[in-house]
């Protein structure tokens, strides 16, 4: 849960601020990596699941 | 400030203040714009994946971490009840509000109700595990399922 809290803070702590914006794929990877979330599952551009930025799937 | 940014802030401000989604008229009144302008902005925010809209193209289903519809992830804070889109977003609400909250949810394995206090410093100690089913590259294939 500590890891999930850090993820929630990274993602949403500025969401009510004017400058807030959704993380882009490269930023997402950096955030995940900082929290130890690595590998294809956490790669928004991975095509290991038939998707990825270069395929049908797209990043959050 | 650009109208689109003001509209986004109006949407998030409404969720933060009352816990529920604003209507097009609510947003229009708050930013001083006409309803058709607001609908156009909602479409742009959807294209940017800032919002998820219902099939009617104007009702806000998600303004992450907030949900525009009731879900199993309820968050209470400051006397306001919020709904989150998932367990991640349930912690995202106190993170966005920057204040303490209580998450009321359930265990997806046992279906037992769960309650978790979240302070400024994070959630109380627990042995709960967050399970993410969908890989990141596929989240937006069906973001409601994700």
Work out the average pLDDT over B108-136: 88
Closest Cβ–Cβ partner in A8, A16, A46 for B135: A46
What is the per-residue pLDDT for A51?
53
Q: Report CB contact under 8 Å: A8, B135.
A: no
Cβ pair B105, B98 in contact under 8 A: no
Percent of chain B with pLDDT over 90: 77
Question: Does A36 lie at the interface with B, CB-CB under 8 angstroms?
Answer: no
Work out the average pLDDT over B134-139: 86
Question: The tokens of B135 are what?
Answer: 């890989």
Over chain A (60 residues), the average pLDDT of each successive run of 10 is 92 91 87 91 80 43
Q: Report CB contact under 8 Å: B137, A53.
A: yes
Work out the average pLDDT over B95-120: 93
Question: Does A60 lie at the interface with B, CB-CB under 8 angstroms?
Answer: yes
Question: Does B91 lie at the interface with A, CB-CB under 8 angstroms?
Answer: yes
Q: Report CB contact under 8 Å: B97, A16.
A: yes
B41-97 pLDDT per residue, tens: 999 999 999 999 999 999 999 999 999 999 999 999 999 999 999 999 999 999 999
Question: Does B69 lie at the interface with A, CB-CB under 8 angstroms?
Answer: no
CB atoms within 10 A of CB B69: 14
What is the per-residue pLDDT for B138?
86
User: Looking at beta carbons, which residues of chain B come within 8 Å of A24?
Assistant: none
What is the average pLDDT score of chain B?
93
Nearest to B93 by CA among A13, A53, A60, A59: A13
Nearest to B116 by CA among B84, B144, B70: B84
Question: Which domains occur in chain B, in start order?
Answer: 3-63 (1.10.10.10), 66-146 (3.30.450.410)
Q: Across B30-106, where does the E strand assignment appear?
A: 52-53, 60-63, 66-67, 73-77, 80-84, 101-106
Global pTM?
0.88
């Amino acid at each position: 849960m500590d890891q999930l809290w850090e993820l929630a803070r990274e993602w949403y702590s500025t969401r009510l601020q004017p400058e807030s914006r959704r993380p882009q794929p490269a930023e997402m990877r950096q955030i995940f990596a900082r929290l130890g979330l690595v590998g294809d599952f956490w790669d928004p551009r991975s095509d290991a699941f038939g998707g990825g930025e270069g395929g049908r799937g797209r990043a959050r | 400030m650009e109208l689109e940014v003001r509209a986004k802030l109006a949407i998030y401000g409404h969720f933060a203040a009352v816990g529920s989604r604003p209507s097009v008229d609510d947003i229009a009144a708050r930013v001083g714009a006409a309803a058709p302008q607001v609908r156009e902005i909602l479409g742009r925010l959807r294209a940017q994946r800032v919002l998820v809209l219902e099939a009617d193209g104007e009702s806000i289903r998600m303004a992450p971490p907030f949900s525009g519809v009731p879900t199993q992830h309820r968050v209470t804070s400051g006397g306001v009840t919020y709904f989150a889109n998932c367990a991640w977003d349930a912690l995202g609400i106190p993170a966005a509000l920057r204040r303490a909250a209580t998450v009321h949810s359930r265990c997806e394995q046992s279906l037992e109700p769960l309650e978790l206090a979240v302070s400024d410093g994070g959630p109380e100690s627990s042995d709960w595990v967050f399970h993410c089913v969908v890989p990141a590259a596929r989240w937006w294939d069906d973001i409601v399922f994700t």
